[in-house]
Structures are given as C-alpha cells and as structure tokens.
C-alpha cells in the first residue's frame, strides 16, 4: 500500500516531531510558569518574544535560524568548534525549526493550565509540611497536567505540519529533512506526480485527524473526571 | 404573502453577506486584459533575461513579466495550465515533455543558448580538483551542492558528468540537493557546502564563489536552452520577444553574461 | 502563653494590626467579616509575611526580627473555611499527605484513631469533589491533625455548613479541644459559636491597634 520511501518519510516526520516536542516541553513549561507566576521587569518582552514565531512569517524564522546556526553563526560556530557538529541539512535542524514554531502554542496551553491551579491549595500543602519543590511536584504539576497534554498534542500537530521555517533553515534533503510537507512540496515540483502527492496528502490528513481525535478524547476524559470529582 | 417575503428577507441577507467575499474573489480573477508577455524561464537565466527584458522595454515595447524557477517546476506549471506565453527551458527534456502534450506552438521552438558546467567553491576556500581527480577526497567531510539530479537540468547534467568521470558513486552521499541551480549556488556562497555544481554563468554572476574546474563538454549531454511560444498564448508580443531573444542584439546580451551559442 | 502574637501588615487599602497573648485551650478571634482575621491566621501559618512584629506559639518563635520560619516548618494544622482538599487525590491520600511529611517524633495521633475520631472511615476511597460540605470539613480537620501539628488554626470552619453539619463539627472541635489538648486559634464572626467553644476571646474590629481580650 505504502512504498518503502513513503514509510521512510512518515518515520522521519514522526522522529523530527517527537524530538522537537520532547525537547521543547520543559522549556515551554518553564516559560509558561515564568509568565504565569513571575513578576519581573521585561515580562511583557518575554511574552512577546515567545509569541514571535506565531506571527512572523515562517520563512523569516527559518532565516533567523540560519543566521544563528550557520557555520559562521554564533550558535552554529560554537557547535562546530566544541562538538564538531552542524545542524544544517540535518534532521536535528528540522527538529529545531519545528520546535521553535511549536513553542508559542505549547507555552499558551500550559500557561492556561498553570493559571487555573488554585494557589491556595499550594498554601495548604505548605502548612502540611511540604517545601516549595515538593508542593510543585505533588500539587502544581499534577494539576497542570491537562494543559501539558494539550501542549504535547498541539506541539506534535504543529511540528508535523511545519514547512516554511524548515525548508528555509535546513533545505529539502531526502532522508534528513524532507518531512511530510516538504515531500509533498517536492512532488509538486515535478510533472506527473499527482499520484504521489495524493498519497502523501492522505497520510498528512490521517495524521492530523489522529491528533485531533486524541486531543478530543483527552478533553473528554478530563471532563468526565470532573463530574466524578477527580482529575486524572 | 408579503409577511412571508419579509420573513425570508433576513436569511437571504445573511446568505448574501456570507457569499459576498467569494463573489468578489471570483470577479477579481476574471482578467480578460491582454497585458504584458509572461515568460517562464529557468533560474540560471535570471540576470541575463532581466537585462534582455530591460533592453526590449527600452525599445518601446511593454516589458515582459519574468518568472524564474527550475525547468521541471515550470513544466509542471505549464502542464497545469499556467497562463504564460513563453517557456525557456534549461534542457531539451522538459521542452520535449510539454511539446509531447501539445502545449507549445511547435513552429516557434528554437535553441536559444548553450552553457558550461563548473565546479564552484566559496571564494575563500582552498579546494582543488581537476576533472581527472578524486572529488570525494577533495570534498573531505564537506557537502557538494547541486540542483536536484532527478529532475532539474543543472542537476541532471551534473550527475551525468560525474558518472562519466566515475566520481558519482563516491560523491553521492555528500550531495545536498537544491530546488534549482540558484539554490545550490546559495549553499556554496554561504559556505554550507564545500563546493557546488553550477553553470559557468551562475559562478560568474556571484561575487562570493570561485570556479575550481570546468567540466568537459564531452562528459555530459550538450547543454541547450530551447525556447518556445506556448500553444495557449494569444499575445502577439510573445513571438516578437522570442524573435528578439534569438536576434544578434538579444544574443549579445546573453554573451555578456557568459552564455554560449547553442550547439 | 499559647499564642503570643503582635503583628501589623498593610494589605491593599487596609491596615491590619493585632496584638494578643492567650493561654492554653481554644482562643477565638472574633469580629465582623473583612476585619482581617483570615490574614492574621495566614501570618501565623507563614503564608503571609507581616510588615513587623513577632509571633510565638507555645514558646516557639515563628516570626520575629531575623526569624521567619517557612510554613512547612511551623507545624501549624490549618483548617480552611473551604476545606481545600487536593482534588487529584482521594480522601485517604489527602489525609496522609501531611502524615508522610512529618517524622516519627512529630506524629502524635495515628491514622486509625483520627479516622475513628472524625467518623470518616467510610469516605476513605472517595474523591473530594463527591463529598458534602460537612464530610469535606471533617476530612480537612483529619488531614491537619495527621500532619502532627503543635497547634491548630481554624478559619470559620462552620461558615459554609448547614445547621445539622454545624452542630456535628462543633462537637468534633469541642472534643479536639478537650481530648487532644492542642492550642487552637479559631476565627469566627458568629458570637454563639464563639461562646460555646472558646476558652479565650480576642475581638478584632476594622483595623484596630490593640485587641481586647478576656
């Protein structure tokens, strides 16, 4: 049904997206916490910077990543000198592009969840003998879980569909950076490829539907638990 | 009867408001004006064709609109019914492709230009290679940029040349594919690729690359740029512009940029 | 002195200042709503920082110049007006939350005895959201007791309950006062409640300096 090449494309897309979301999750959580609870000068600036990838054209993000991670760039040069590693033309670069584009969505979802955590519950836990870190892990984090799960699903969906920043930053290398959207784009560049395009597009639709269904099922589960009285 | 008409008014109004943007869009799309000639041209022709269009405009004609992309992508657009007038391909294969589908005015097809293939490297690089040498060794861990060898003419010529020289198998894992030859050139300019296979004219157009070696003419099929007026074209100016490009005045402009006469 | 409190704090447009020192048993902080009684409890619990003053309970200084124990070290058993049970844990885990964090020497009442005392054995497997007001309040009291506190803070624990429940919990609190012998600081705006339960009473009106006590 699907050719080996097509499976390889799906595999690459999933690899890039899973790595991107896994790497971004702690960063997104930290930023969400900072923005939800922190009171410090420059908070609005941090908020704006986090949301930049949502509003800037993806090509611009890709270009900025190129400047930063290119051979002569600040991060790229450092990576090259200290680790002998480059992310240009590599799947790791594609993951970085996907991560940057997914970050604002994940931060928003987690932040919403953190803001609904009743801080008085945290106070109650403190009076029962829990220090700040224990309160975080036993109260705040579990109660933010719905937002974290939403962030993961949103992040995955966004990453799988990421195109503009990826193709600008790490180009279109089969097996390395040619994720599903890029594969569809490549097929469109060549005459006579309609069959190929159709198959790849169907795969993309199936993946997106799966993400939506998962998100809906999770939302339902939390709603149901709300009625019987517990979260999770 | 009046009452029910009045009742129907609001839903009708709502429907009209909802559909209004769609109608506006459709109305905009209806462009029956003649307008300037639209040319679909291979990316390697960027500077030279712009100069030719300027010259043509200076003579008092409407300046043609130029759209550059890989010849394969252009062929697809023509397949899909793109409303263009002229097609300038970087190889005969893609012109044959659209010709076979009856999409060109066959009597207007002519060979316009020739070109040479070179190995280019970033200006400051120390890379050395001659066509008889081991390219993979010269590249070391570096990448070789080229247009997609599966479909884009520059890539196809490049692979043919390397296969002829017995270098392709060793070099293939190093290859980074660009969407078109200019994308490959950009990789070399930025230093992301250690070297790239581009046309001599591309290397000449860039100040940030230097030519390492020229690939011998015999190592690949002759590089020929055919031009043709598209069958669906209704603009008389299209044929006039094509004739201009083929004329001595037009050819002189291309020579300045390094193009040769077609073989 | 069980409760030796002298604190002041500016909260929004309000200036809260309170000074009192009372003996063992149940001390009621009595006054109208909005006078800042809950804020006083929060300061004693360590959840709110006074602008100045000192707090000592049963001889141990919790807050003074150079001393500010974090809430988890003050060993206050705090029962809130709205129970504040953890929604993501069942009743049993709520009860054990503080118990787990207290060490051997601090735990002076056992799980079975607490559950028995409060009559909540049949609720152990339930989720907090499914409990009635009275049941939740009893679990909250149990949770506070099990954390091995040296004293109890109770913020209008009967306010959100209906008559039968109030009587029920009032009885429980009376028994804690008599049988478990913990110093209790009890906030209420209900004179009848206070007169039934209190050994000492501290009156707090809108932002008053010294509170009178009997």
Chain C touches chain B, with at least 3 Cβ pairs below 8 Å, answer: no
Q: Tell me which chains share at least 3 CB pairs under 8 Å with chain A.
A: B, C
> How large is the C-alpha radius of gyration of chain A?
20
Residue C212: other Cβ atoms inside 10 A? 11
Contacts of A118 in chain C (CB under 8 A): 84
Q: What are phi and psi of B193, to 5 degrees?
A: -110, 145
Which DSSP symbol is given to A84?
-
**Spatial separation of the C-alpha atoms in residues B249 and B53, rounded to whole Å:** 12
Least confident of A115-124, A216-225, B3-12: A216-225
**Average pLDDT for A198-221:** 86
Condensed to tens digits (0 to 9), the pLDDT of residues B47-70 reads 999 999 999 999 999 999 999 999
Residues in contact with A217: Cβ distance below 8 Å, sequence separation at least 6, in sequence order: none
pLDDT for B164 beyond 90: yes
**Spatial separation of the C-alpha atoms in residues A195 and B54, rounded to whole Å:** 41
Contacts of A191 in chain B (CB under 8 A): 72, 75-76, 79, 97
Condensed to tens digits (0 to 9), the pLDDT of residues A143-192 reads 999 899 989 999 999 999 999 999 999 988 888 899 999 999 988 888 87
**Spatial separation of the C-alpha atoms in residues C177 and C184, rounded to whole Å:** 7
**Residue B28: per-residue pLDDT:** 64
Condensed to tens digits (0 to 9), the pLDDT of residues A27-65 reads 999 999 999 999 999 999 999 999 999 999 999 999 999
Using CB atoms, which residue from A71, A171, A190 is nearest to B191?
A: A71
> What is the arrangement of strands in the sheet containing C151-155, beginning at the earlier edge strand?
C76-79, C151-155, C184-188, C26-30, C200-203
Chain A touches chain B, with at least 3 Cβ pairs below 8 Å, answer: yes
Closest by CA to C118, choosing from C147, C95, C150, is: C95
Taking chain C (214 residues) in consecutive chunks of 10 residues, what is each chunk's mean pLDDT? 89 85 91 82 94 92 92 94 93 94 85 90 95 91 94 89 82 87 90 90 66 44
| C111, HSE (Cβ side, Cα atoms, 13 Å) | 13
Core vs surface per residue A70-97: b (16+ CB within 10 A) or e: beebeebeebbeeeeebbbbebbbbbbb
Contacts of A127 in chain C (CB under 8 A): 45-47, 71-72, 74, 76-78, 144, 147, 153
Chain A touches chain C, with at least 3 Cβ pairs below 8 Å, answer: yes
Q: What is the ipTM of this complex?
A: 0.90
Using CB atoms, which residue from A71, A173, A192 is nearest to B177?
A: A173
Condensed to tens digits (0 to 9), the pLDDT of residues A116-150 reads 999 999 999 999 999 999 999 999 999 999 899 98
Closest by CA to C149, choosing from C70, C57, C45, C76, is: C76
- Distance between B178 CA and the closest CA of chain A, angstroms: 7
**Spatial separation of the C-alpha atoms in residues C170 and C195, rounded to whole Å:** 12
B106: exposed, middle or buried (C-beta count within 10 Å: 0-12, 13-18, 19+)? exposed
Core vs surface per residue B88-102: b (16+ CB within 10 A) or e: bbbbbbbbebbbeee
- Distance between A23 CA and the closest CA of chain C, angstroms: 27
Q: Tell me if chain B has a CB within 8 Å of the CB of A5.
A: no
Partner-chain contact A134 C101, CB within 8 Å: yes
* Under 8 Å between Cβ of B224 and B262: yes
Dihedral angle, C-alpha A192, A194, A197, A203, nearest 10 °: -140
Q: Which residue is closest to A142 within chain C, CA to CA?
A: C88
Core vs surface per residue B124-149: b (16+ CB within 10 A) or e: ebebebebeeebbebbeebbbbbbbb
Closest by CA to C39, choosing from C184, C187, C139, is: C187
**Spatial separation of the C-alpha atoms in residues C96 and C84, rounded to whole Å:** 15
**Residue C212: per-residue pLDDT:** 44
């Amino acid at each position: 049904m699907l050719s080996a090449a097509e499976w390889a494309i799906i595999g690459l897309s999933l690899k890039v997206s899973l790595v991107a979301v896994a790497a971004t999750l702690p960063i997104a959580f930290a930023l969400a916490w900072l923005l939800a609870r922190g009171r410090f000068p420059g908070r609005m600036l941090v908020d704006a910077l986090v949301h930049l990838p949502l509003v800037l054209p993806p090509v611009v993000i890709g270009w900025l990543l190129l400047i930063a991670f290119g051979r002569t760039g600040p991060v790229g040069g450092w990576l090259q000198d200290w680790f002998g590693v480059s992310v240009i033309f590599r799947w790791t670069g594609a993951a970085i592009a996907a991560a940057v584009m997914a970050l604002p969505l994940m931060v928003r979802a987690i932040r919403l969840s953190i803001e609904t955590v009743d801080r008085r519950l945290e106070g109650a836990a403190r009076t029962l003998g829990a220090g700040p870190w224990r309160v975080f892990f036993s109260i705040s984090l579990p109660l933010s879980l719905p937002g974290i799960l939403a962030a993961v699903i949103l992040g995955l969906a966004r990453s799988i569909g990421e195109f503009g920043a990826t193709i600008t930053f790490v180009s279109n290398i089969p097996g390395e950076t040619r994720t599903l959207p890029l594969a569809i784009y490549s097929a469109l560049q060549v005459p006579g490829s309609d069959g190929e395009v159709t198959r790849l597009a169907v795969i993309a639709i199936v993946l997106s539907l799966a993400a939506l269904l998962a998100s809906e099922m999770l939302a339902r589960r939390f709603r149901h638990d709300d009625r019987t009285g517990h979260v999770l | 009867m009046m009452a029910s008409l009045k009742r129907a008014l609001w839903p009708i109004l709502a429907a009209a408001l909802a559909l209004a943007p769609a109608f506006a869009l459709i109305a905009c799309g209806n462009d029956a004006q003649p307008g300037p000639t639209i040319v679909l041209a291979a990316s390697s022709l960027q500077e030279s064709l712009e100069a030719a269009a300027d010259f043509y405009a200076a003579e008092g004609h409407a300046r043609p609109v130029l759209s550059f992309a890989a010849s394969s992508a252009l062929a697809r657009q023509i397949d899909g019914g793109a409303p263009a007038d002229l097609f300038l391909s970087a190889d005969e294969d893609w012109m044959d492709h659209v010709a076979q589908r009856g999409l060109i005015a066959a009597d207007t097809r002519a060979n316009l230009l020739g070109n040479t293939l070179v190995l280019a490297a970033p200006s400051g690089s120390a890379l050395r290679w001659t066509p008889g040498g081991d390219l993979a060794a010269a590249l070391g861990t570096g990448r070789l940029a080229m247009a997609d060898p599966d479909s884009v003419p520059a890539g196809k010529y490049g692979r043919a040349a390397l296969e002829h020289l017995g270098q392709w198998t060793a070099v293939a894992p190093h290859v980074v594919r660009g969407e078109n030859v200019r994308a490959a050139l950009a990789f070399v300019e930025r230093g992301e690729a250690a070297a790239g296979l581009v046309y001599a004219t591309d290397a000449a157009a860039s100040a940030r690359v230097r030519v390492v070696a020229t690939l011998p003419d015999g190592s690949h099929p002759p590089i020929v740029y055919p031009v043709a007026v598209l069958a669906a074209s209704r603009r008389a100016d299209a044929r006039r512009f094509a004739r201009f490009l083929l004329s001595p005045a037009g050819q002189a402009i291309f020579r300045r940029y390094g193009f040769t006469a077609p073989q | 002195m069980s409760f030796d409190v002298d604190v002041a704090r500016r909260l929004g447009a309000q200036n809260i200042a309170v000074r009192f020192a009372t003996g063992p048993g149940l001390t009621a902080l009595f006054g109208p709503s909005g006078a800042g009684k809950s804020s006083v409890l929060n300061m004693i619990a360590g959840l709110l920082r006074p602008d100045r003053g000192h707090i000592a309970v049963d001889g141990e200084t919790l807050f003074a110049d150079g001393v500010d124990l974090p809430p988890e070290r003050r060993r206050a058993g705090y029962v809130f007006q709205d129970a504040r049970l953890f929604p993501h844990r069942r009743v049993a885990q709520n009860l054990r939350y503080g118990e787990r964090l207290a060490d051997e020497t601090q735990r002076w009442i056992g799980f079975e005895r607490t559950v028995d005392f409060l009559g909540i054995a049949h609720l152990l497997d339930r989720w907090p959201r499914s409990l009635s007001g009275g049941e939740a309040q009893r679990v909250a009291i149990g949770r506070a007791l099990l954390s091995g506190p040296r004293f109890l803070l109770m913020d209008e624990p009967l306010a959100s309950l209906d008559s039968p429940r109030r009587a029920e919990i009032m009885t429980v609190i009376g028994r804690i006062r008599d049988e478990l012998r913990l110093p209790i600081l009890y906030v209420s705006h209900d004179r009848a409640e206070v007169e039934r339960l209190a050994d000492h009473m501290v009156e707090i009106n809108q932002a008053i300096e010294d509170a009178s006590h009997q």
